[in-house]
Homo-oligomer: A and B are copies of this chain.
Amino acid sequence: MRLMDENTVTDAVLEQMANTPDPRLKEVMGALVRHLHAFAREVDLKPEEWLAGIAFLTAVGQKCTPHRQEFILLSDTLGLSTVVNALHDKRMAEATTTSSILGPYYRENAPSFRLGDSIAVKTHGQPIAIYGRVTNKKGEGIPNASIEIWQTNEEGDYDLQLEAADEMDMRGWFHADSDGRFYLRSVRPHAYRIPMDGPVGKLLTAQGRHGYRPAHIHFLIGAPGYREVVTAAYLGSDKYLETDTVFGVMPSLITETKAGDASSPFPDLPSLRFDFTLAARAAGEGTGRVGADVSKIGARLLT
């Protein structure tokens, strides 16, 4: 009989997982167990702290609804989502637009629009134009590339946070023209506070964190034969750029609307230009991005 202590139990667990048929599952779970145990040993985790952790994770899971994903929010606020995105960008052999976090407000089946339309169907605010081009590494436009976009209204609320959460607004699909160009209208998004009424918000409060994200616009860009890019454009004048509570701001993603932009399809509107570079996908390879996988997991998780 093995004498089990706080160190030897780690090998006992790895031994019981040694016959995992899927080699990747074995690798990931083995590393998870080693790091999880190392964490508990490093802080000399107390039983009452362990139980508080169990209660916290249970509350996070029970806060999830078709309109709210509290575990993604937890991952975001712990910086894990940014680690995963940065690792993803590093694996790309070709230069590609920097990733940013998906966030908890992505929705499947957003409405489809034509180029030039406004995604601000119900909301009012300061009108802006958004335009740019989707290209490959050679700078060639990718015809018909899909551009999915979602953002807050002028008050900093996503549609999911409004009373009529079932009705979509401030989000939709576009397809680029034959030269990879896209253009649309919207209203200026606003900085906002992540939902503070759940367990994640309580944790941020206990940590003395403000919980704000700088104003930004989410993009999910894809095209057949290319890897999807999940990213966001951050408005350069926002005061929370340096202290984003979910660590999504990358220097290359900071931009700002420009007045009197002659090259904008809507020169009368403050216009935000944002171009995207997609990396080619190898034969037989998945999209490598989160978007496609969201649809596999389906409505139960994220709607």
A residues sitting closer than 8 Å to B (CB atoms) are 1-6, 9-10, 12-13, 16-17, 19-22, 24-29, 31-33, 35-52, 54-55, 57-62, 64, 69, 71-72, 75, 78-88, 90-91, 203, 206-209, 230, 241-243, 245, 247, 249-251, 254, 286, 288-290, 293-294, 297, 301
Contact = CB atoms under 8 A, between A and B. Distances in A.
28 contacts: A1-B241, A4-B82, A4-B86, A4-B247, A5-B90, A6-B82, A6-B86, A9-B83, A21-B206, A22-B206, A24-B49, A26-B207, A31-B39, A33-B79, A35-B39, A36-B39, A44-B87, A46-B84, A46-B288, A47-B84, A47-B230, A47-B288, A48-B286, A51-B297, A52-B293, A54-B71, A58-B71, A59-B61
A49 B27 CA distance: 12
B290 A40 contact: no
A79 B10 contact: yes
B35 A91 contact: no
Q: Which 7 A-B pairs have the closest CB atoms?
A: A61-B61, A6-B86, A13-B79, A35-B39, A19-B208, A48-B293, A20-B207
A204 to B, nearest CB: 9
A38 B49 CA distance: 22
- Interface SS of A by simple majority: helix
Contacts of A4: 82, 86, 247, 249-250
Nearest to A10: B79
Nearest to A84: B50
Given A4-B82, A20-B207, A289-B47, A87 B27 contact: no
A3 B251 contact: yes
Contact of A62 (B1, B19, B64, B90): B64
A5 B286 CA distance: 24
A221 to B, nearest CB: 14
A48 B78 contact: no
Contact of A9 (B16, B29, B86, B243): B86
Given A17-B207, A242-B1, A31 B43 contact: yes
Nearest to A242: B1
B206 A20 contact: yes
Nearest to A49: B28
Contacts of A61: 57-62, 64, 71
A163 B297 CA distance: 32
Nearest to A293: B48
Contacts of A55: 297, 301
A20 B9 CA distance: 32
A42 B29 CA distance: 12
